[in-house]
Amino acid sequence: MPLTLCVLLWAVDGQVDPLTRYEDEVLALVPVHGGRVTSRVRRAPGEDPAVPAEVQVIEMPDDAALAAYMADPARVALADVRDRVVARTQIVRVEPVADRG
């Protein structure tokens, strides 16, 4: 069953740009597992640092594809980078809302 995820990421203080570079690398692996990044936005300069530094919407074909992405050796190899730049991650399963135009 397809799933849609909203991923909220908070950066370690002073590590917003390195977080972006890390995410560039790991998000490139999403299509390898049949998924796609439908949206990726970054907190605007001057906004409260208590809000996420980056928000992503990712679609995956199913839970197995998500598990394979999370366990991808190329992603796992970057765990030390992630630990240095990502302070917190929250993943929320979401559903599209019909356009009520």
Q: How far apart are CA 70 and CA 72, in angstroms?
A: 6
Q: How far apart are CA 6 and CA 100, in angstroms?
A: 21
pLDDT number for residue 101: 65
Does residue 8 contact residue 52 with C-beta atoms inside 8 Å? yes
Pairing status of strand 54-60 against strand 36-42: antiparallel
Does residue 52 contact residue 62 with C-beta atoms inside 8 Å? no
Residue 44, helix vs strand vs coil: coil
pTM of the entire predicted model: 0.91
Q: What is the tens place of the pLDDT at every residue in 18-57? A: 999 999 999 999 999 999 999 999 999 999 989 999 999 9
pLDDT at position 94 over 90: yes
pLDDT band per the 50, 70, 90 thresholds, residue 97: confident
Q: Which of 61, 17, 16, 24 is nearest to 40 (CA)?
A: 24
